[in-house]
Amino acid sequence: MKIDILTLFPEMFSGVTGSSIIKNAIEKGLVNVDATDFRPFSTHRQGHVDDYPYGGGAGMLLMAQPLFDAVAHLKAEGVKPRVILLDPAGVPYTQKLAEELAQEEQLIMICGHYEGYDERIREHLVTDEISIGDYILTGGEVGAMAIMDSVVRLLPGALGNDQSAVTDSFSTGLLEHPHYTRPADFRGLTVPDVLMSGHHANIERWRHEESLRRTASRRPDMLDVYPLSDADLTFLKAEVLYDPNKKEQ
């Protein structure tokens, strides 16, 4: 996979690409990541990439020309990349979208600054507009880092155990169950007996029910779309955790 990031601050990405899972994936040849300053693509005599909006208003807008030319320069031959605009008005980012993006050959992410973008960038350049949350950041760099991290860890071979990505929260449709490690008794706080039993079927049942319990408690909205079995419904109703007939819990 090739990931290109268009930014006015490429130095921000050196720590992310030089650490942890992303660093390992780069060294294994699973992904190639480049952060490119798009200011040199400006044809403005002073190298400006922003300008005042027509009709007036506060702030400056990123101009179309530098970004159109930068994207054209980065497109790999024979590949149709996903060109992602990081923007608060984009669709909310989800694990499902991360899994979709992980199948692509090339991602180009545009990190904005200032008040916004020339609308022609949205209409004629990008394939996706993505928001990582309902809040405003100084620029799109943090969002690009989050997307890059979530996508790279899904690439086969990026994690020490590929099964880890499959069982993560959101990947299964539920929040992940609790985990414990040694010692079994820490200051009187003990590990549930079922995890010490060696009975794999009981352990899997406990983990699934704890995922249901945690999801119902923290993110009941996820259960509205999760394919609950009859056994799941019986458990949730017995625990008074979830009523599928109620839209709000």
Tokens, residue 245: 């007939």
Q: Is 243 a catalytic residue?
A: no
Q: Is 4 a catalytic residue?
A: no
The answer to whether the annotation marks 74 as part of a ligand binding site is no
Q: Is 88 a catalytic residue?
A: yes
The answer to whether the annotation marks 134 as part of a ligand binding site is yes
pLDDT single digits (tens) 80-99: 999 999 999 999 999 999 99
CA count, 13 A, side-chain hemisphere, 47: 5
Q: Is 115 a catalytic residue?
A: yes
Note the CATH architecture for domain 169-249: Orthogonal Bundle (1.10)
- Topology of domain 2-152 in CATH is Alpha/beta knot (3.40.1280)
Q: Range(s) for CATH 1.10.1270.20 in the chain?
A: 169-249
Identity (one letter) of the amino acid at 63? M
Catalytic residue among 115, 149, 209, 243: 115
Task: Please say whether the beta carbons of 96 and 139 come within 8 A.
Answer: no
Average of per-residue pLDDT across 117-129: 97
The answer to whether the annotation marks 230 as part of a ligand binding site is no
The answer to whether the annotation marks 133 as part of a ligand binding site is yes
The reported pTM is 0.87
pLDDT single digits (tens) 43-73: 998 999 999 999 988 889 999 999 999 999 9
Average of per-residue pLDDT across 23-46: 97
